[in-house]
């Protein structure tokens, strides 16, 4: 049996009142990983609660699920019927005396998540009877508005605390929910997958395909960042963190090279040629494209793309009614081709910038910082 000297999650919540969402997510992902393993072994815990979630140490702790005294071996879709669990964290279906299954652990996870974030469970009563009545009530569960949560966090919380087990979030959706986002492969296999992305990225970069190289490197970094918290504290984890930061810096350099280059437009190109005086729609399209160019110069990419798209659609409508063989039609087609190229460059750049691994890394660092403040600066309570 492994010794856990950091107390339990319940004591931590009691001492600090509540936990920041970033710290909660760190612990909750580890809890979800433990449940995923139990699920693979066909085991339902059936008594999940903060007091059964132990902290490995007082400095940068991980969690360990304990007290399997009420757990039961259940094959998928198999049901149990005996009364078990701590009432405050028990799923409604257990109180009904009807057969139930492993989904009771999902409800318990919801209660634990609620207590971590708000510092109190969703139900409070002086007697056992009142507690059962609240849990079985059809009244909506209250979510305090004084604690600001991310949309993905609140979404998972509401999906877990659904009284009808058939409407509750499934295990499959739980494990892949953005707030949990468990890696789908074994740890070593997931790292191998990331390494293969890096090799492909380096190959694409050597062929001057920076867009593909950046996308592949970003995919690798997302995997690395998800795996970071699975490392035990020490030199190996710090070395891995520095490796991630070096790749992130390289990705930012490639993104900078992909930034669309803005050239000055001759005034004549913004006003439209005189041969199109009979087509005000074309002259208007030229002006819209010129606006798009100005927006590019100010790096307002979304707005620039919208303007280029509008100009292109307007001109294409004209060309459908124009003899394509005329000199002015050929000239206009070339102009549309240039606008299309600009729009495509902007679109590709925006897609790459959306792969913001830097933000994910900052979130991971912030979680560690807040965890250090909780467990490092003050003495952790051991129950």
- Asked if 375 and 19 count as a contact pair (C-beta separation under 8 A), the reply is no
Is 208 marked active-site? no
Strand 63-65 with 53-55, pairing = antiparallel
The alpha carbon torsion through 101, 106, 108, 113 (nearest 10 deg) reads 180
**Annotated catalytic residue, options 8, 47, 101, 355:** 47
What are the DSSP calls for 228-245, one per residue? HTTSPSSHHHHHHHHHHH
Hey, which residues does 55 pair with through a beta bridge? 63
Question: What is residue 76's DSSP assignment?
Answer: T
pLDDT tens-digit map of 158-175: 999 999 999 999 999 999
Instruction: Tell me the pLDDT band of 183, cut-offs 50, 70 and 90.
Output: low
pLDDT tens-digit map of 64-104: 888 644 444 444 444 444 434 478 999 999 888 778 888 99
Range of lowest pLDDT (94-108, 169-183, 350-364): 350-364
pLDDT tens-digit map of 95-140: 887 788 889 999 999 999 999 999 999 998 888 899 999 999 988 8
Structural domains of the chain in order of their starting residue, each with its CATH number: 9-182 (1.10.510.10), 187-258 (1.20.58.80), 267-354 (1.20.58.80)
What pLDDT score was predicted for residue 380?
A: 36
Taking each helix axis from N to C end, the angle separating 301-319 and 280-297, rounded to the nearest 10 degrees, works out to 160
Does residue 376 register a pLDDT over 60? no
Hey, which residues does 8 pair with through a beta bridge? 54
Please indicate whether residue 221 or residue 325 has the higher confidence score (pLDDT).
Answer: 221
Question: What is the arithmetic mean of pLDDT over 38-43?
Answer: 83
Strand segments, DSSP code E, in 235-280 are none
Helix (H, G, I), strand (E, B), or coil: what is residue 140? Answer: coil
């Amino acid at each position: 049996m492994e010794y856990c000297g950091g107390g339990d999650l319940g004591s931590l919540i009691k001492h600090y009142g509540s936990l920041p969402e970033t710290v909660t997510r760190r612990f909750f992902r580890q809890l979800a990983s433990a449940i995923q393993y139990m699920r693979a072994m066909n085991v339902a815990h059936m008594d999940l609660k903060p007091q059964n979630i132990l902290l490995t140490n007082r400095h940068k702790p991980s969690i360990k699920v304990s007290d399997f005294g009420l757990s039961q071996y259940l094959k998928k879709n198999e049901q149990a019927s005996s009364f078990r669990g701590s009432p405050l964290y028990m799923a409604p279906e257990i109180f009904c005396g009807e057969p139930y299954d492993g989904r009771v652990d999902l409800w318990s996870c919801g209660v634990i998540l609620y207590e971590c974030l708000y510092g109190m469970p969703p139900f409070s009563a002086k007697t056992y009877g009142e507690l059962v009545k609240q849990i079985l009530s059809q009244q909506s569960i209250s979510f305090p508005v004084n604690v600001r949560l991310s949309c993905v966090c609140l979404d998972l919380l509401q999906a877990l605390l659904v009284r009808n087990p058939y409407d509750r979030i499934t295990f499959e959706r739980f494990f892949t929910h953005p707030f949990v986002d468990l890696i789908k492969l074994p740890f070593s296999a997931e790292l191998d997958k990331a390494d293969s992305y890096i090799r492909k990225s380096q190959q694409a970069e050597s062929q001057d395909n920076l867009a593909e190289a950046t996308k592949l490197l970003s995919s690798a970094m997302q995997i690395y960042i998800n795996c970071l918290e699975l490392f035990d504290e020490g030199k190996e984890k710090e070395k891995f963190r520095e490796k991630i930061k070096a790749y992130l810096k390289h990705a930012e350099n490639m993104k900078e090279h992909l930034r669309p280059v803005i050239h000055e437009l001759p005034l004549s190109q913004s006003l439209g040629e005189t041969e199109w005086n009979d087509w005000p729609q074309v002259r208007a399209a030229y002006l819209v494209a010129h606006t798009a160019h100005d927006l590019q110069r100010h790096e307002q990419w979304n707005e620039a793309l919208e303007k280029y798209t509008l100009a292109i659609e307007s001109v294409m409508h004209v060309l459908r009614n124009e003899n394509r063989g005329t000199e002015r039609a050929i000239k206009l087609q070339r102009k549309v081709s240039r606008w299309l190229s600009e729009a495509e460059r902007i679109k590709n750049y925006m897609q790459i910038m959306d792969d913001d691994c830097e933000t994910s890394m900052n979130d991971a660092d912030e979680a560690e910082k807040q965890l250090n403040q909780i467990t490092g600066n003050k003495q952790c309570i051991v129950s």
